Amino acid sequence: MISAEERKGAPRFKKRALESHKGTYGRVCVIGGSFGMAGAVFLSGRGALLSGAGLVELVVPERIGDVISCKAVSCMVKTLPSGSEGGFGVRAGSRVMKEVRDATVIAAGPGMRTLPGSCVVVKKVLGNAEVPLVLDADALNCIALRKWNDLLRKRRSPTV
pLDDT at 72: 93
103-128 residue pLDDT tens? 999 999 999 999 999 999 999 999 99
pLDDT at 44: 97
Short-list 55, 57, 27, CA closest to 42: 57
In this structure, the strands spanning 76-80 and 27-31 are: unpaired
Residues 6+ apart with CB under 8 A from 68: 33, 38, 41, 42, 58, 60, 75, 77
pLDDT at 1: 59
Model confidence at 65: pLDDT above 80: yes
pLDDT at 11: 64
**HEC string of 28-83?**
EEEECCCCCCHHHHHHHHHHHHHCCCCEEEEEEEHHHHHHHHHHCCCCEEEEECEC
pLDDT at 24: 72
69-102 residue pLDDT tens? 999 999 999 999 999 999 999 999 999 999 999 9
Instruction: Pick the more confident residue, 24 or 7.
Output: 24
Beta-bridge partners for 90: none
Its pTM stands at 0.89
* Burial letters 109-133, b for 16+ CB under 10 A, else e: bbbbbbbebbbbbbbbbbeebebeb
pLDDT confidence bin for 6, thresholds 50/70/90: low
131-154 residue pLDDT tens? 999 999 999 999 999 999 999 999
Question: Cα Rg for the chain, rounded, in angstroms?
Answer: 16
What is the maximum alpha-carbon separation in the chain?
48
Average pLDDT for 54-65: 97
Average pLDDT for 53-67: 96
